[in-house]
A and B are shown apart, each in its own frame.
Chain A
């Protein structure tokens, strides 16, 4: 919506030519290989990112930068070449006019840039406040929680705010957080990890926080970034024009595996999104298949001290978060693990098939809800398959796949990543993976 406003107010003609010329070099290089740059800020796919992109043109900033660059660079080189003398033959008494300055000129080139910058500032300040505009009541709000080195998302499905009334004062507000590690959640809300699924064409408001260090949430094609700071609650928003996959990256340095803290946003059309949300609100099924059931047994023995699977059978203590032996006191909730196309902080794909490279945005959003089904159906064309081998490697030795300080710190008794499980045999790993594949 901000795009249309900006368009009406812009004083620059928005034809292709007038835009492309002044930044020809940069724009060409940036857009030349458009399709294989999933993080390209020059290809906005949502109104917020679009307004940031437009800002630089509408305010004339790129043009001013281009003009000044050309003037100084070529002016400097031109003057240097034109006025140069040969030191070998130069007569030191052949002095140029000894100008000491020119007040008019200098005042002019003090004031002129100031005026230009003042004009640009108006555009910027307007956009700064536009970026803060919240969505309509009733539209989706998502809480984004960063921790080393993955993202958790909590969906306020019933729209009652983010927290239960933890302290019982009758108001649901920030005071209800059990600072800062545990964020109280309504039973009807949804928890997922790594991939944020949103409805396309709708502004989704985010509340950002962190459980350990500062991270930054950035989906370049949808909006700029904002830091997630422990102990603080920041707001931000996203909107995708079209269904699709939009990748992102944690952009505030957050320690060891900062480079492997990636995420994506999957925008679905309304019907698909509703179906996705309805599924996420279901409990997981206790598998009947013997292999998966055996896997569930192993999971019950090895994994539930960190990972939550809400299937109505696993029991977690009231103060579960405090007992999780991690600095962040949280591990990804795996209730619907098999619905996600990536895991391990967005660096591995759960499925093999067209567009499933976790860093690529080529995944077809219309099959997103069917990934698990397609991969399990032996009759369907051999497009999507459960990526068993990689997942087995991950479960067996996660720190070998991704740098994590998983070893438990003797002082605190806490680690910072998934432990290796060398005690699991190959068969047991198969069973665990078979169980995970049932979590759709």
Chain B
């Protein structure tokens, strides 16, 4: 036995070393939880095949130890078998003490490095897991926030590939309560979470404005203004927006910085709608102007819009699909009526093993399959149970600024009240509120509005009366809706009351038709004796 190993256990460079004469002893020693060792030196006469299993067992149960075998046999085949069995080092017994000492030091250094790497790996994995969890939560929140806008109809084709966990491309579709459809494709600068966050103001603006049936130009202007204010200077969003109106039977199209939007007409010609204004968020409102492209719905066969990631993605020979190449592919698909899903396969084949260099989105609309509301049709019957009630009292100076009809609009939106009854309700309440404020609280005479100069005088008197409001002046709105109840609304003002029986406008009157209009819109209208409260019932018929 070499003298250097006369002790059964020792330390080498701070690493505990244990010496055993049998492999089975080494296994027992390592299994004993009271013993701590990092290097096991096993001193045997020659290698036996029986040792293979024991070493394997030791290796599997203790991945963080080093095994050094010292063998009386100097046969190369024995040494080879030992190394094959998984020992880290195998030396003949005749080796010098210095050599053995050096080998143990090397093993100790190697083991320390291995442990350090293992610890760093564990830390890295913990950090990665935390990032993964945070990303998962963030994605959940992001989808929740943007979810309302993402209820995509299935009557057009879209495909999207994300270069990162979060996608900086966003395609979303909305319909106004009256049936105007909007489709937007937005591409925020860059990709990943920062790009996805840049899209959020876009979603909020579009959701709010589309619900009010705003024209696409107004929506895009507002999106630009919001992004200009809210995004850092180095961030912007390119966007394509479509407004498809069943009333005008027109498609209005805006391209703010995206590649050309291709519009295939039924006569076979292809119109390219190139970007005609700056990406959104760069120019201030006053410096941002454009005219939308317009097409008659009846003239359009298909429309394609896509983000630049699609045409700039390289294949393994660094070739891109290119604008012309993609246009040709899309035309082939459209003219030969190929299934759009194959576009994804085609893109995957082009990309091969190359990583995505940017987020990629394609949207294709076939107008023969795109659902456009019939402006003359009614809405589905509301089958919900229960009621929702909303009360609002506006007093004093707040009467100057509070937009009460906007509350009504939000109420209708929140209760998912759409279609004709939503329009009737908004019109009737806005009319009654205006009457309550102007004629009840402000005590203005509508006869003034009977000629052009009277309008001006009416406005001047109104401004003066608004300046003289006190905390006793108020207009109260009570509004409730339920599928069986219909919509009930009551407007009460703090004024002295008005004799509505005096109002009897002819068709040429410039004023006085407000209450007559509300009476026509309502199933039932009731005015209290004092004349300062009007209650109405509206139903969807």
| Chains A and B come from one and the same complex | no
